[in-house]
């Protein structure tokens, strides 16, 4: 069960409460991060021991999975990840210019109910790359303060151990050393300045697409060992002040229903749409480079996003605008072109799915659920729900929850603002419209929403007698999940490791 508030260390509780209420103030810029010590967990010995046991590192035995599939039958894997884009693409019905991503969706499968398990950069990416919840893999906040626990196995490490060539182009936000993440090659020269506008310089996405194309061009001819290429684009992260992003008319944007329809919001959405357009052009460049190798039929291409848009009530919060993310998969001859899935899928599931496609057995401690059968028309066990979480961002925002097909339950810990705004949103024109109200009110300890009747999650049903059984059932499931995974929140407030917090 949850710890009693009076059992928490008073000094730490007071310090964290003060930190939470203080307006965000970012320093620095996102980079590949750096290795950091793991958090100090104050509280009961039971909580600490449970956390250590549940998050014990798993290892791949030398050669594990290597003989499950002949080398030439293994697909190449190209994984493209953007920042802060949610599902804001033309193929998902938004009026933005994304012809290349729309074409990718038409060539493969579009997932209409794909979600991340953490509405923030580093924890979400860690879940994708390990198939494990952030509080289990150690990345409970932003790199470089937070990084993987020793022994965690990433997608690149697993595929590399199975004979894949592994490469990273651009940004990751999990650790400081790409080699320790499993990449045999890394081009990360933009990582330290990917979000800053440098007059006269090309957009980050354009540069990274060129670097990815160059890496593909220089690879040995077809018939060599398969590869994993991860391309981490800086777009569509704030700020949107580059000249390449300009030109989108404000009267053509569609304001999401969770945002106020005000001129400041429209102006920012227009700039954001320009960033999406540039990211889409980069994806087109990368796909052309893949096709130019002659390996199109042997290459599995995945496009996805770390979390929702950098606007209030999306990024940094576990409402659907923060968790809903795009997922497009092209695999010629295996995935039916133009197919659409409305099955519930979360980003921890991508790790075992890609390993399965490569014929590699997943590590025993994986927590995601493969949907390979869903892609290829084989056997598939549908997912009925998924757990999500947040602990630290640039400020402490601890909560845990579960989303089913119809309901969502959120358990908040401590005194939190009604809606947390990460620093890049808090200091934005859109954030300025709502931050006084959002930070003047306190978030309830529990939240329950009927997503069919209330898709915007505005009506908290915790006190509604008609939902007593639903509330009790979901509350118990979250409690049990936290116990079984040794969630450090069970021992009280979680301290962040020392070191600079960098912008996600």
DSSP string for 418-467: SS---HHHHTSHHHHHHHHHHHHSB--SEEEEETTT-TT--S--TT-GGG
Q: Which DSSP helix (H) or strand (E) runs through 274?
A: helix 263-292
Q: DSSP characters for 56-90? A: ----PPTTTTTTSS-GGGSPEEEEEEESS-TT-SG
Residue 486 token pair: 């040794």
Peptide bond into 144 cis (omega under 30): yes
SS3 175: coil
Looking at residue 432, what is its pLDDT?
97
Letter string b/e over residues 404-425, b meaning 16 or more CB atoms within 10 A of that residue's CB: beebbbbbbbbebbebbbbbbb
Separation of alpha carbons 487 and 220, rounded Å: 46
Peptide bond into 236 cis (omega under 30): yes
The strand pairing partners of 494, in sequence order, are: 41
| Residue 483 · residue 10 · CB < 8 Å | no
CA 436 to chain centre: 28
Residue 322 token pair: 């923060």
- For 81, left (φ over 0), alpha (ψ -120 to 50), or beta? beta
Looking at residue 177, what is its pLDDT?
85
Looking at residue 396, what is its pLDDT?
95
| Residue 457 · residue 418 · CB < 8 Å | no
Looking at residue 50, what is its pLDDT?
40
pTM: 0.86
Looking at residue 271, what is its pLDDT?
96
Contact residues for 317 (Cβ-Cβ < 8 A; gap 6+): 119, 419, 420
Separation of alpha carbons 291 and 294, rounded Å: 6
Q: Which of 334, 277, 272 is nearest to 302 (CA)?
A: 334
Looking at residue 200, what is its pLDDT?
61
Task: Give me the phi and psi of 447, to 5 degrees please.
Answer: -135, 140
Apex CA 501: angle with CA 498 and CA 502, to 5°?
145
Looking at residue 248, what is its pLDDT?
87
The C-alpha R_g of the chain, in whole angstroms, comes to 22
Looking at residue 20, what is its pLDDT?
38
Separation of alpha carbons 329 and 335, rounded Å: 8
Q: Which DSSP helix (H) or strand (E) runs through 321?
A: helix 320-323
Beta strands in 188-226 (DSSP E): none
Match 């954001």 to its residue by tokens: 272
SS3 370: coil
Consecutive 10-residue runs of the chain (504 residues): their mean pLDDT?
33 39 38 27 34 39 40 86 97 97 98 98 96 97 90 96 95 86 87 56 89 92 82 94 90 96 97 97 98 95 98 98 98 97 97 97 97 96 97 96 98 96 96 96 97 98 98 98 97 86 52
Looking at residue 223, what is its pLDDT?
57
Peptide bond into 184 cis (omega under 30): no
Separation of alpha carbons 434 and 415, rounded Å: 19
């Amino acid at each position: 069960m949850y710890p009693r508030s009076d059992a928490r260390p008073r000094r730490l509780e007071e310090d964290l409460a003060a930190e939470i209420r203080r307006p965000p103030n970012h320093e620095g810029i996102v980079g590949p991060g750096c290795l950091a010590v793991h958090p100090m967990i104050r509280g009961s010995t039971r909580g600490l021991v449970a956390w250590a046991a549940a998050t014990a590192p798993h290892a791949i035995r030398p050669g594990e999975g290597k003989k499950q599939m002949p080398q030439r039958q293994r697909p190449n894997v190209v994984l493209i990840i953007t920042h802060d884009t949610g599902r804001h693409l033309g193929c998902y019905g938004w009026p933005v210019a994304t012809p290349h991503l729309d074409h990718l969706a038409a060539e493969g499968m579009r997932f209409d109910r794909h979600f991340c398990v953490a509405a923030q950069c580093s924890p979400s990416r860690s879940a994708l790359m390990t198939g494990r919840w952030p509080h289990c893999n150690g990345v409970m906040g932003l790199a470089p303060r937070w990084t993987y626990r020793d022994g965690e196995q990433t997608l690149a490490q697993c595929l590399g151990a199975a004979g894949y060539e592994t490469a990273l182009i651009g940004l990751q936000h999990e650790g400081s050393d790409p080699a320790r993440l499993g990449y045999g090659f890394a081009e990360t020269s933009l990582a330290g300045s990917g979000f800053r506008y440098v007059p006269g310089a090309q957009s980050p996405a354009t540069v990274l697409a060129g670097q990815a194309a160059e890496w593909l061009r220089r690879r040995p001819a077809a018939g060599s060992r398969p590869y994993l290429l991860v391309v981490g684009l800086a777009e569509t992260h704030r700020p949107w002040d580059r000249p390449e992003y300009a030109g989108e008319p404000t009267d053509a944007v569609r304001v999401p229903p969770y945002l106020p329809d005000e001129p400041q919001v429209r102006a920012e959405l227009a700039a954001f749409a320009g960033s999406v357009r540039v990211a889409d052009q980069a994806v087109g460049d990368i796909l052309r480079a893949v096709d130019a190798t002659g390996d199109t039929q042997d290459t599995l291409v995945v496009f996805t996003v770390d979390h929702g848009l950098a606007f209030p009530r999306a990024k940094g919060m576990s409402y659907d605008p923060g968790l809903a993310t795009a997922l497009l998969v092209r695999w010629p001859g295996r995935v039916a072109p133009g197919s659409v899935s409305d099955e519930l899928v979360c980003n921890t599931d991508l790790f075992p799915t890609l390993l399965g496609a490569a014929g590699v057995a997943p590590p025993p401690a994986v927590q995601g659920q493969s949907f390979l059968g869903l892609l290829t028309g084989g056997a598939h066990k549908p997912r009925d729900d998924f757990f999500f979480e947040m602990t630290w961002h640039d400020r402490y925002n601890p909560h845990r929850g579960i989303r089913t097909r119809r309901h969502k339950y959120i358990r908040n810990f401590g005194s939190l603002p009604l809606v947390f705004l990460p620093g890049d949103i808090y200091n934005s024109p859109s954030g300025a419209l709502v931050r006084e109200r959002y930070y003047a009110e306190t978030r309830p300890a529990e939240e329950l929403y009927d997503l069919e009747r209330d898709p915007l999650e505005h009506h908290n049903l915790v006190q509604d007698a008609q939902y007593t059984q639903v509330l009790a059932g979901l509350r118990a499931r979250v409690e049990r999940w936290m116990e079984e995974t040794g969630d450090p929140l069970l021992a009280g407030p979680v301290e962040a490791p020392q070191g600079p917090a960098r912008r996600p």
